[in-house]
Chains A and B, each alone.
Chain A
Amino acid sequence: MQPRSPDLGTFGEGRAGVARPSPSRGSRAGSPWLPYLYLLPGLLVFTLFVVLPVIAAIAISLTAWNGISWDTATFVGIDNYLDAFRDDRFWTAFKHNIYLIPWYVILPIILGLAPAAFVHRMKLRGSRLFQAGIFLPYIMPGVLIGVVWRWMLNPVFGPINTTLKDWGFHPPTWLGDFTWALPTIGFIGAWAAYGFCYVVFVAGMQKIPTDLYDAARLDGANGWQEFRAVTLPGLRRELAVVLAVNLINAMRAFDVVKATTDGGPGDSTNVLALYMMNNLGGNRAGFAIAIAIMLAVITLAQSLIVLRLFGDSDD
């Protein structure tokens, strides 16, 4: 096939001498359907495992259904959503998720950034081993983290309370205490996440051009000023990533809560995902799915805000 003249071409930017594919025939140069064919398998999987279930979930959320037999489901419109808005326990759970944000998001960033900056500046040996160890909690299943911390915090035989008592303190029962249970879960979440932040920041710091640091030192900047002026701005994208990911984790907190307090004592550690699961188990599937949809929307909105605020900016 002869390449079409750029004068006659209508696709893309014009540049002389570049062959353009014919729109009508799948020619040797590549059919316009080719990119879509490459996308098809992934799209199929995405449709089957994401799109269709989401559509089904939205449909279920508009019904009163006990989750047992679909024949018994009745259409109720947005009643489930209105019930959630009017439900005190929904708002309590939501409040708890918001409370967890500083613990799941801010604290791990600080705990990850500090050693990352230190290791980067000092160019420490053995940092790889340190990195592997610090990252380990992040890849532990949430249930395992919960069980381990439940033992650590056991008021009778756990090492934390026995040590504190040996030192003369009267520690609370942590996970069983109405005041301390939620902060304790927040702390466990921070512990699980800071390794991830550390690894991301270390990688990010490595791509900051060293001449920026040289220039800063030439201008007389000390370590802290270097960090503020060079490191932090250079980590903008990494900050966006950890903020978004940790925000999602804060909103969908479930495993650790279920494995430690199961929402207790009372309702003091109830979170949206747990409340949703309890309603699902309580034969209120429509209502539970409505909570799930709302949680997904809230999480998506938060992620978009973060990405907008910390979005693409060229260094």
Chain B
Amino acid sequence: MDRRHLLKRTGALAAGAALAGGISTVGQGAGSASAQDAEFDVWTTYTDPIRAELMETIGNAFGEANGVTFKHRGWQTEELGKTLPRSVDSDQGPDVSQVNNGEALAGPMARAGQILPLKEYDAEYDWSGRFAPSLLARCSYSSDGKTFGEGELWGLPAESEIVGFYYNKQFFSDNGLSVPATFAELETALKTLKSAGATPLVFGNLDKWTAIHLYGALQGTDTTREYLDGLIYRRGNADFTDTSIVAAAAKLVEWKDAGFLMDGFDGVSADDAQALFISGAGAIMMQGSWAAGAVRDGLGENGGFFLMPPVSSDVTVLHVGGVGIPYSITRNADDPDLAAKYIDTLVSEDSFARFVDAGQLPLGTIADDKIVPDTVTGDLYAGWNTALENDAIGHYLDWAAPQFYDVLTGALQELLGGQVTPEEFAGKLQDFYAASFA
């Protein structure tokens, strides 16, 4: 009797708990539907305090001006990529989210109707008129969501990225060097530093991806807009049989053999390499614009930046770079018009100024009053403006095909490890690229 009574009570309790849990979840769903009228959710990949605060500042001001409660949530990029589609499918997604370009996420989500096309908002806010077409192309898909790099906008980024060389001015002045204006001068500088016993290039490729930038930067000295766009947007005849692919690989091996790359680079991570550079372990580090803040804080006046110099003055280098992760409107947005207005707020001059203050590159040109000469950020911003003006923002080569990142990074490690020749390296890339069209 006692046992049965106890069982009954326990069972009732358990059932009650389950039911209550179910109700509260349903209630949450129903509640958030009505709360979403007043709540405006934005998901981004900003987990660091600087950029998270940036989002809060811009978002709270937007919320106040438009009578909504702004709520920001930061995710790791990979986690956002896995969570967002499922959240949108179960109507638990945000109004606006960063959605990784191309086939990584944007393409599949566009085709599945999980994000909204921005064509009419583009017409309303004239984004295509205000920002560089080559930048917006990488946020564009055809209206059926199948062809990348053309058609309509499906997302709009607020930031950009460009990769170049940070340098330690002390090393340069100690060795009588100035910022190289040509590729030949760069190689001379590297040789001089090596002969003086300094580490020319602080480089760490343990986590695989930094080689994409170094290799891409070398390839970018010998390429055209037409070829690179064709390769990345997968149109025309562009593929990895191009001579620039083998030539850049050979040059990379040449630099390694000449000792320009830091000793033991294959066992050093990118973060550790950056820390080593900032602590004065070497003269130059190739990294993206995202590292400017850290270099500025670490090296101070001793820090500088320059983009990959051209082989000659009549050739334009296509610099490794692109846009930050674009913002898209999900189909869960209660008020897509408001969502579009928010996105437009992110690309306003005011927001751009805030991004610059936080050490980020905005989508457009940077105002002159933000460019402090002879500082690392000043060098970066000036370089960015010039590259934008010359339509010289290239691509990240791992975008060429789905899952290409894995193949490219592995092949680069094999190239740098002497496991494959430059020709074999190019062959591996071409085999995978060609097969990805099947």
Max count, chain B CB within 10 A of own CB: residue among A28, A151, A173, A177:
A173
Q: Is the CB of A265 within 8 A of B112?
A: no
User: Which chain A residue shows the least CB distance to B264?
Assistant: A155
Do the beta carbons of A154 and B267 come within 8 Å of each other? yes
Give residues 60-100 of A contacting B (CB, 8 Å). 66-72
The answer to whether B208 touches A264, judged by C-beta atoms less than 8 angstroms apart, is: yes
Verify B402–A155 contact, CB threshold 8 A. Answer: no
User: Is A282 an interface position by the 8 A CB rule?
Assistant: yes
- Chain B residues near A68 (CB-CB < 8 A): 85, 105, 108-109, 112, 114
**B424 proximal to A (CB < 8 A):** no
Asked if B413 contacts A266 (CB within 8 A), the reply is: yes
A41 CB within 8 Å of chain B: yes
Give residues 42-91 of B contacting A (CB, 8 Å). Answer: 78, 81-82, 85, 89
Task: Please name all residues of chain A whose beta carbon is closer than 8 Å to the beta carbon of B315 when the two chains form the complex.
Answer: none
Interface pair B281/A175, CB less than 8 Å apart:
no
State the Cβ distance, A151 to closest chain B Cβ, in Å: 8
Chain A residues in contact with chain B, CB under 8 A?
26, 28, 30-31, 34, 37, 41, 66-72, 150-151, 153-157, 161, 173-178, 260-267, 278-284
A72 to B109, CA, bound (A): 11
Q: Which residue of A lies closest to B109 (CB)?
A: A68
A interface secondary structure, majority: loop
How close is A144's CB to chain B, nearest CB, in angstroms? 15
| Residues of chain B at interface, number, CB under 8 A | 45
Asked if B276 contacts A156 (CB within 8 A), the reply is yes
Q: Known contacts A68-B105, A264-B413, A265-B414: does B4 contact A161 (CB below 8 Å)?
A: no
Residues of B within 8 A of A70 (CB): 89
Contacts of A267 in B (CB 8 A): 410
Q: Say whether, besides A154-B272, A264-B208, A176 and B267 are in contact (CB < 8 Å).
A: yes
**In the complex, which residue of chain A has the Cβ closest to the Cβ of B208?**
A264
Complex CA gap A66/B82 in Å reads 11
* Candidates A30, A157, A262, A282; contact of B403 at CB < 8 Å: A282
A204 to B78, CA, bound (A): 44
Most chain B CB atoms below 10 A, which of A30, A262, A265, A279: A265
**14 examples of A-B residue contacts, CB within 8 angstroms:** A67-B85, A69-B89, A69-B113, A72-B111, A153-B267, A154-B264, A175-B267, A177-B417, A262-B208, A264-B410, A265-B410, A265-B413, A281-B81, A283-B103
Contacts of A176 in B (CB 8 A): 205-206, 264-268
CA distance A175 to B105 in the complex (A): 31
A156→B109 contact, CB < 8 A: no
Complex CA distance for A207 and B281, rounded to whole angstroms:
57
B376-399 interface mask toward A, CB cutoff 8 Å, 1 = contact, 0 = none? 000000000000000000000000
Assembly CA distance A261 to B409 (angstroms): 12
A164 and B313 alpha carbons, distance in the complex (Å): 48
With a CB–CB cut-off of 8 A, which chain A residues contact B267? 153-155, 173-177
- Chain A nearest CB from B416 CB (Å) reads 8
Say yes or no: B7 contacts A37, CB within 8 Å: yes
Assess whether B438 is interfacial by the CB under 8 Å rule. Answer: no
Contact present for A282 and B410 (CB under 8 Å): no
Residues of B within 8 A of A283 (CB): 103-104, 108, 402-403
Residues of A within 8 A of B414 (CB): 178, 265-266
Give Cα A175 to B113, complex, Å: 43
Taking CB atoms, residues of chain A closer than 8 Å to B262 are 156
Picked from A67, A177, A264, the residue with its CB within 8 Å of the CB of B409 is A264
Contact check: which of A28, A154, A262, A284 meets B207 at CB < 8 Å? A262
With contact pairs A267-B410, A283-B103 given, residues A69 and B108 touching in the complex (Cβ less than 8 Å): yes
B110-124 vs A: 1/0 string, CB under 8 Å? 011110000000000
Is B14 engaged at the interface, CB distance under 8 Å to the other chain? yes
Alpha-carbon distance between A157 and B267 when the two chains are bound, in angstroms:
11
Cβ contacts under 8 Å, A72 to chain B: 108, 111-112
**Assembled-state Cα–Cα distance A178/B7 (Å):** 61
A156 to B262, CA, bound (A): 9
